[in-house]
Structure 1
Amino acid sequence: MEKYNKVSIFIILFATFLFAFTQFLLINAYPTIMREFNVNNSQIQLLTSLFLFTTMILIPFTNYLSDTYKSNHLIIAALFLLILGTFLGCQSFNFYMLLISRIIQGAGYAIILPISQSVLLKIAPNKHQSFILGLLNSVINIAPAIAPPITGIFLAFLNWKIMYWLLLPFEILVIIISIIYLSNTFENKKTKLNKKIVTLYAMGSVFLSLMLLFLDLNIIFSLLSGFISFLIFTVFIFLDRHSEVSLINFNLLNFRIIKLPTIALFLVMMLLLSVESILPIFTQSILNYTPIESGFIMTPGTLILIMATFISSKLYDKNQNSNIIIIGVITTAVSLVLFIFIDIHSYMVTTIIVFCLFMFGIGCTITPLTSIAYINLDAAYLFQGSALINTFRQFGLILGVTLFSKAINFISHLSVYHSTTSNLLLGIRISYIAMALILVIVLKLALSLKDLQNKISLSHTNNSNIKL
């Protein structure tokens, strides 16, 4: 690998890490922010949901951006949005200003997430592509390992806003380095957006956001918004599939080797951030642990996730089969069943072990699924495939964290028990049961994917990628 490529890879990985670190930085501070701004459990999840929703909405446009602008300019623009959002977060004097800062950061992440994957796949040798994707996933996964304990330490002595101030110098440094060293790797061409398709996509996204936001406030309005969103997206998908210039190339899903891992990845991502968001609330509100203790409970599990991601990427590079995915899904399911039995009398080490088991399973699943989808894409459809896969990935994150947080909030207010803690625990346990059922679907998809790979010659797959 050329020296220049190594420098570029380092810059891109570091920039992506900063975005991921920012995304997870506040999770352990949620209970503190809830008290400071007087918001409930459902409202505090908006800090995550709006970040992810902004990312999900904007990712499909990266295909157009990749054709129109230089890759280094896009990365620099994303970093500028990160700096702007971080600065506003430092100045937040109410909950709404903090939400705006998260939306701006999410817009930057929407640019850099698919762009970084596309750039890395272009500059990395073919034989190392799965490893590079695994390295990118590992870097992204380092963030939740480092962020919770750091947040816990600062919350014990300082205000949570100090963490944002400390991030600014690193963000400014990486944007300066990017300006100096990064160059364009894209072949730009004239591309026009279909205004009718873009309008439908925007309208569908608005009604989808209304459905999620009002899910526990006005169920009738939420369901109506969801129905309207469904109708709009149905028309959008139909027109987009038959358009010469598509926003999201759904035609790629006609190929099962793309469709199966993409849907499985969507379902797995529903679980990842949901569990990571639920755990601090569980440990602090039910087990009465401090933010520092809560952060260190999550740290070993996320380190296990990094290790599992690295190992699974190497194994997939070597064996090119779905066995590691099946192992990961089964391990994750076992951990969720064990989570159901954790209560106020459980030891801290029990929670740590079960969370480690969960993260190991997730780590064995995400990278191979992503690799299968990307490696089977022809270079001409790399940007479109990246937009499609990352849209599903981000939608899984936002749908999972929104639905499960609102379900927990709804169940905890049913007052099944006299104790508030018992009602909250009931909501969390029911969420874990629902997650375990979702994994049954993922397991079926993984088994189907294994059968499909057995029918396809690996040499033919590697040499003749998908062409539409």
Structure 2
Amino acid sequence: MPADRPVRPTGRGTPTVVRLLVLATFVVILNETIMINAIPRLMADLEVTERTAQWVSTAFMLTMAAVIPVTGWFLQRVTTRRAYTIAMGVFIAGTALSAVAPSFTVLLLGRIVQAGGTAVMMPLLMTTLMTVVPEQDRGRVMGNVTLAISVAPAMGPVLSGVVLQVGSWRWLFGLVLPIAAVVTWLGLRKLDNIGEPQTGALDWSSVAFAAVGFGGLVYGLSRFETHNVATPAVIVGTGLALIGVFAARQLRLQRTGAPLLDLRILLFGTYTKALILMSVAFMAMLGSMILLPLYLQNLRGLSALQTGLLVMPGGLAMGLLGPTVGRLFDRFGGRVLVIPGSIGVAAALAGFTRISMTMPYWQLLILHILMMVSLAAAFTPVFTLGLGALPQHLYSHGSSMLGTLQQVAAAFGTALVVTVMSARSSALVADGADPITAHLDGMRLAFAISAAMALIVIVMAVLLPSRSSAPQDADGAETPTPELVES
């Protein structure tokens, strides 16, 4: 099947290939947050410190940041079935290794292998969706994708909380393993290849710069603490410098060969605006996702399971609203959704600045649902508008860039709010304030920082168009013409 003749589904139903990839993506993304509640168990069973145990989550995020930049090149050079087979095979291998890990080192290796498979699935899903779904139906289908990518992280802590009530942390992997195997089997039975693979050698120096640069950036951001700023800052600076070298290398390869990550995607104005909006929104969202459990568990005394149940309705609302948002986007365009959604995010974060030791739980529930529903209204149109502004041959690179910056934004948002909260509370305690009052004040300030970031989201939302029109692919095109660069 020629690459320049994308598969089109018959009727208005979601193509089978997309349904299968959504199911597989749900299974693999679930594992990004499934270990959050297992830290105390790992500390006791494997005799490690809390800082060491946190690496089961940090290593997953690091691997995603290091591998995703390669996926744009990878997805253009293997068939859909081969990419799916490799991604799910690697994920299953990592899951099995984690389930039987005799030591923390082996568990960490299993998590890294898991993340390697997960890193391929999201760009594969997005690239395939943009290729096989007609433009007039993309919002609706992207809404179904939102159901998977938003509900899965929300369900991770809830599922782990339930499992840990009755069994070992190993069951977190043991339960996922057969589900992943069945999903893989179904995919290999039903999945069709989309397009034809291209040829081209892998530039290993680009791989090294991307892995160390993006991985180092995420690692440095994850290590920021109030009493340890210098070392993480050096790591972040080194990561940024290597990313700069990586970018310069890609610009050179765009003229002389095939780049690992084609930076011409940034010449399309709508895509770049969508990228900025998504990144800042992820910073604000992930920051609040870190702060809220800390508040509920450390200050209000809720268990991990109770905390998970409290935030679960917001995640479910976000996912279940996805298809409706998609249909509204197909009918009315993006602005009528993205602008109110961005305002709702800012309002919810502003509401969280009012937290106290007596704030009713129903108010917290409403604020969290408002934020997640608002994010649903923004994310589906933003993904669709951004990728829809690119020509087809750049879909895989656009998906890769989105996935990479999601990981970087998550790390930056987490580091920012934790550092702000800790610095503020430590300063107040040093001035003689009560520790609980100081901790609350630090959290309020961190939420205020997240609300301020949400104002940038509103500005980007206003600048986005209601519709994006992708230019036609042209064989041998090096860069988009000025007419293709949207204002």
Same fold per superposition (TM over 0.5): yes
Deviation at 1:227, TM superposition (A): 2.4
Please report the TM-score for the alignment, with normalisation by the length of structure 1. Answer: 0.89
**In 1, Cα distance between the equivalents of 2:204 and 2:157?**
42
Q: Which amino acid aligns with 2:134?
A: P
Question: 1:28–1:295: 8 Å Cα contact kept in structure 2?
Answer: no
Residue among 288, 300, 318 paired with 2:313: 300
Q: Which moved more, 1:144-153 or 1:426-435?
A: 144-153
Q: Deviations over 1:56-78 (max 9, x none)?
A: 22112112212222211111211
The CA distance in 2 between the partners of 1:394 and 1:465, in whole Å, is 29
**Among residues 131, 134, 141, which one is paired with 2:143 in the alignment?**
134
The one-letter code sitting in structure 2 at the alignment partner of 1:374 is L
Further displaced range: 370-379 or 43-52: 43-52
Give aligned pairs, total: 460
1:157 has 2:178 as partner: no
CA shift for structure 1 position 53? 2.4
AA partner of residue 172 (structure 1)? A
> Cα distance 1:291–1:223, how it changes in 2: closer, same or farther (>3 A)?
closer
Aligned partners of 1:240 and 1:248 also within 8 Å: yes
Q: Deviations over 1:301-333 (max 9, x none)?
A: 112211343332222211223231111111111
- Secondary structure, aligned partner of 2:469: helix
Alignment partner, residue 54 of structure 1? 63
Distance 1:142 1:222 in 2: 32
Residue 139 of structure 2 aligns to a residue whose secondary structure is helix
**Alignment-derived partner of residue 143 in structure 1:** 152
Q: Which residue of 1 aligns with 2:187?
A: 178
Of 86-95 and 287-296, more deviation after overlay is shown by 86-95
Moved more, 63-72 or 408-417: 408-417
Is 1:221 matched with 2:231?
yes
Instruction: Summarize the Cα distance change of 1:282–1:34 in structure 2 as closer, same or farther, 3 Å threshold.
Output: farther
Give the alignment of 1:160-309 within 5 angstroms: 160-205=169-214, 207-216=216-225, 218-244=228-254, 245-309=258-322
CA distance in 1, matches of 2:110, 2:269: 39
Query: Counterpart of 1:121?
Result: 130
Structure 2 unaligned runs (5+)?
A: 1-8, 481-487
- Find the partner of 2:36 among 24, 27, 35: 27
SS at match of 2:261: coil
1:433 aligns with 2:452: no
Note the alpha carbon deviations across 1:237-276, whole angstroms, 9 max, x for none: 2231232322222222122111111111111112223322
The answer as to 2:389 corresponding to 1:376 is: yes
| Shift in alpha-carbon separation, 1:145–1:31, aligned structure 2, 3 A | same
Match of 2:111 in 1: 102
Tell me which moved more, 226-235 or 102-111.
226-235
Instruction: Give me the whole-angstrom Cα distance separating, in 2, the residues matched to 1:204 and 1:300.
Output: 37
Corresponding residue SS for 2:197: coil
User: CA 1:379–1:163 in 2, change beyond 3 Å: closer, same or farther?
Assistant: same
Match of 2:121 in 1: 112
2:141·2:323 contact (CA, 8 Å) conserved in 1?
no
1:343 to 350, 353, 356: 356
CA contact (8 A) 1:59 1:390 kept: yes
Cα distance in 2, alignment partners of residues 282 and 136 from structure 1: 31
Name which of structure 1's ranges 147-156 and 31-40 shifts more when overlaid on structure 2. 31-40
Mapped partners of 1:121, 1:262: distance in 2: 16
The correspondence for 1:356, drawn from 358, 369, 376, is: 369
2:469 maps to 1:461: yes
* Cα pair 2:99 2:174 within 8 Å, conserved: yes
Aligned equivalents of 1:465 and 1:323: distance in 2? 29
> Structure 2 vs 1, CA of residues 419 and 88 (structure 1 numbering), >3 Å: closer, same or farther?
farther
CA contact (8 A) 2:28 2:118 kept: yes
Aligned-residue offset at 1:94: 5.2
Structure 2 residue aligned with 1:64, among 48, 53, 73? 73
Aligned-pair distance for 1:31? 5.7
Q: Which amino acid in structure 1 is aligned with residue 128 of structure 2?
A: V
The answer to whether the 8 A contact 1:148-1:298 is kept is no
Q: Specify the alignment match of 2:5 in structure 1.
A: none
TM-score by length of 2: 0.86
SS where residue 198 of structure 2 aligns? coil
Deviations 1:95-115 (A, max 9, x none): 544433322221111111101
Identity of aligned residues (%): 21
C-alpha distance in 2 between matches for 1:389 and 1:207: 18
Q: Report the aligned-residue RMSD.
A: 2.8
The whole-number CA distance in structure 2 between the counterparts of 1:107 and 1:193 is 18
TM-superposed deviation, 1:178: 2.1
Asked if the contact 1:45/1:401 (under 8 Å) is kept, the reply is no
Q: Which residue of 2 aligns with 1:389?
A: 402
